[in-house]
Amino acid sequence: MEFLISTSIIPEQWDSIIAICIGIAFGFVLESSGFSSSRKMAGVFYGYDFAVLKVFFTAAVVAVIGIYYLDYLGYLDVTKLYIHPTYVWGAIIGGAIMGVGFIAGGFCPGTGLCGVAIGKLDAWVYVLGILIGIFIFSELYTVFEPIYNGYYLGNITLIDSFEWNPYWTIFIFSIIAVVAFVVADMVRKKIKKVFY
C-alpha cells in the first residue's frame, strides 16, 4: 500500500492483484500444512499433533530473521514497517476470548477460510459465527470502547518495551522455538495417537 507499491516501483493499480497473489500463496501453504482440518489444529492443545506450533513458530522465526536481515542489508527499513499497535488490555482480553473460541471451534479466521474453500461445513458455520461475533462487537461498541481504545502504548516493539538488542532478542526467540519443537516431539511420543 505505501511501500514498494507506492514508491513507484510497482504502480498502484497492481495493489489488488498483488493482494490476491499473496492470498493464494498464503491459502495454499495453510491448506497444504493441514490447517483446513480442525482436528489436526486442535491436536496442539492435547499433544497428539503439533503442526500448529511448528508451522506457526517456524513462520514467525523465519519472518523475523528475514525482515531484520533485509534491514541489516539495507533493503528494508524496519522502523518504516507497520508495527501492530499495543493496546495492553485489548490484546490480553481479546486474545483470551479468541483462545476460548479457538479451542471450541478448532479454527482461527485464516484457517477457517481454508476449511470453507475445501467444503468443510463446520468451517462455513465457524466463519458465519465470526461474522456474528464482529456484528455483536460493533453493535456493543460503546461497551467495548474503553478496552478497545484504552491502555494504548503506541506501535511499540519488544525492543522499545524492554530496551533489548534486536539481534539477541531474535536469537533467543529462535532458541525458544527450537526447544519448543524438541519438547513437542517428546510429548507427542507419550500421548496416545488420535486418528482423524
Partner 1 sequence: MNTKPKKNSHIYWNPYFGGFLLGIIIIFTFLLTGRGLGASGAMKSSVVTIVDKVAPTHAENNAYYSQFVKEDDTPMNTWLVFEALGVLIGAFISGSLSGRIRWRVQHSPKISSRRRLLFALGGGILFGLGAQIARGCTSGAALSGMAVLSSGGFITMLAIFGTAYAFAYFFRKNWI
The residue from 12, 59, 165, 179 that contacts partner 1 (CB under 8 A) is: 59
CB-wise, 92 or 183, nearer to partner 1? 92
Secondary structure class of 165 (helix, strand, coil): coil
Cβ–Cβ under 8 Å, residues 172 and 63: no
Instruction: Rule CB under 8 A: say whether 176 interacts with partner 1.
Output: no
The residue from 12, 72, 103, 172 that contacts partner 1 (CB under 8 A) is: 103
At 153, give phi and psi (nearest 5°): -110, 0
Nearest C-alpha neighbor of 26 from the set 129, 130, 113, 124: 113
> What is the contact mask toward partner 1 in residues 115 to 134, using x (rule: CB under 8 A)?
-xxxxxxxx-xxxxxxxxxx
Instruction: Rule CB under 8 A: say whether 150 interacts with partner 1.
Output: no
d(CA 165, CA 162): 9
Instruction: Rule CB under 8 A: say whether 146 interacts with partner 1.
Output: no
Instruction: Rule CB under 8 A: say whether 138 interacts with partner 1.
Output: yes
- Minimum CB separation from partner 1 for residue 155, in Å? 7
Cβ–Cβ under 8 Å, residues 125 and 39: no
- Minimum CB separation from partner 1 for residue 40, in Å? 7
Instruction: Rule CB under 8 A: say whether 94 interacts with partner 1.
Output: yes
Instruction: Rule CB under 8 A: say whether 78 interacts with partner 1.
Output: yes
**Angle at CA of residue 38, ends 30 and 122, nearest 5°:** 110
Grid coordinates standing for 29? Answer: 501453504
The residue from 72, 92, 171, 172 that contacts partner 1 (CB under 8 A) is: 92
Grid coordinates standing for 85? Answer: 499497535
The site that binds partner 1 (CB under 8 A) totals a number of residues, namely 129
Count the neighbouring beta carbons within 10 Å of the beta carbon of residue 85. 12
The residue from 8, 13, 72, 93 that contacts partner 1 (CB under 8 A) is: 93
d(CA 143, CA 137): 9
Residues 17-36 that bind partner 1 (CB under 8 A): 18-34, 36
